[in-house]
Amino acid sequence: MTGQEAEELLREGALTVEGRIPDASNAVLYCSVSHQERSAHCVYKPVEGERPLWDFPDGNLARREVAAYEVSRATGWGLVPPTVLRDGPLGEGMVQLWIEPGHHSDQDDEGDGALLALVEDEEPGPGWKAVGFAQVGPGRTALLVHADDQRLRRLAVLDAVINNGDRKGGHLLTAPQSRLYAIDHGVSFHTENKLRTLLWGWAGEELPEEAVRVLRHLERDLSGDGELAVRLAELLTAPEVDAVRARVAELLRSGRHPVPSGDWPAVPWPPI
Ligand SMILES: Nc1ncnc2c1ncn2[C@@H]1O[C@H](COP(=O)(O)OP(=O)(O)O)[C@@H](O)[C@H]1O
Ligand SMILES: [Mg+2]
């Protein structure tokens, strides 16, 4: 299925709730969706089931998730599974293609390699980037590292653009063909800098040429009647869309991966 076909299935399909994901912070429902000859599994997060947060307005986490998909789609990197906003059995919500589990980032599967690790050393080994030292027990620290992986590096750029307030390891799903998907973008797109992520390994480093090209494309797509500008305007407030433009402009101006701002906990804990 192409992204467009998946979007159509998610938008038009008949949605059947099959179960609820336990321990999620919001109501996260596992569903099947079918339309004409196609069917798939998906998650449905109804706005009704959103837990209120102190720093985000009530009732629009679902829209932020869809907006994250729209930005991801515009990058061409395909990091966020197809996600749409639609009505469902529990009212309006976000519906996202299900990525088969069993390939979570903290597992070493199919030679893909783990994406995150805690190590005893002072320095990250070859192929790893350091996030920082973490307290892992009484008087014990370990170095949190993530893989020096192109997919993660793209995701670090996407997170900087969407201002992701919660990029944890459990939100990275690896799928067949070395695909990496990122999920759970409800706390993104705040107008203030809230970037909180594990992916600080490239902080302050020059952006790869590829990322600069993609950011230039986003800049055009976000201007005036650009398609992304139009789509985001349906999902976010005008100041929030302006803030996306400002973050893209700042990334292009500095030409570097962002560094922690210092006025907000920069690394989610626990990291998984
Ligand atoms: N698209 C998806 N594909 C596969 N698993 C998913 C998907 N979306 C959510 N999940 C599973 O459901 C769990 C809860 O989803 P999450 O987005 O973290 O919800 P919450 O909004 O409550 O934080 C995730 O940790 C993951 O295991
Ligand atoms: Mg979550």
**Per DSSP, what are the bridge partners of residue 43?**
30, 96
What pLDDT shows up at residue 112?
A: 52
User: Does the pLDDT value for residue 271 go beyond 80?
Assistant: no
Do residues 43 and 15 touch, judged by C-beta distance below 8 A? Answer: no
* Average confidence (pLDDT) over 66-91: 98
Q: Give all strands (DSSP E) within the chain, no chain letters.
A: 14-20, 29-35, 38-46, 83-86, 93-97, 116-119, 128-137, 140-147, 172-175, 179-182
User: Does the pLDDT value for residue 259 go beyond 60?
Assistant: yes
Q: What is the total residue count of the chain?
A: 272
Ligand 1 centroid, distance to 142 Cα (angstroms): 27
Please indicate whether residue 21, judged by its CB atom, sits closer than 6 Å to ligand 1.
Answer: yes
Query: Tokens standing for 81?
Result: 């599974």
Please indicate whether residue 9, judged by its CB atom, sits closer than 6 Å to ligand 1.
Answer: no
Q: Which ligand is nearest to the CA of 53?
A: 1
Neighbours of 106 (CB within 10 A): 13
Please indicate whether residue 170, judged by its CB atom, sits closer than 6 Å to ligand 1.
Answer: yes
Dist CA 70 CA 86 (whole Å): 15
What pLDDT shows up at residue 272?
A: 74
All structural domains of the chain? 1-98 (3.30.200), 100-205+257-272 (no CATH)
* Average confidence (pLDDT) over 80-87: 98
Q: How confident is the model at residue 175 (pLDDT cuts 50, 70, 90)?
A: confident
- Closest ligand 1 atom to residue 98 Cα is 3
* Average confidence (pLDDT) over 132-158: 92
Query: Tokens standing for 114?
Result: 């783990």
pTM for this prediction: 0.94
The predicted-structure confidence for 103-128, as pLDDT tens digits, reads as follows: 444 444 444 578 999 999 899 999 99
What pLDDT shows up at residue 139?
A: 86
User: Does the pLDDT value for residue 210 go beyond 50?
Assistant: yes
Q: How confident is the model at residue 247 (pLDDT cuts 50, 70, 90)?
A: very high
Please indicate whether residue 169, judged by its CB atom, sits closer than 6 Å to ligand 1.
Answer: no
Amino acid letter at 47? V
Please indicate whether residue 193, judged by its CB atom, sits closer than 6 Å to ligand 1.
Answer: no
Average pLDDT of the chain to the nearest whole number:
93
User: Does the pLDDT value for residue 262 go beyond 90?
Assistant: no
Q: How confident is the model at residue 270 (pLDDT cuts 50, 70, 90)?
A: confident
Contact residues for 243 (Cβ-Cβ < 8 A; gap 6+): 163, 189, 190, 191
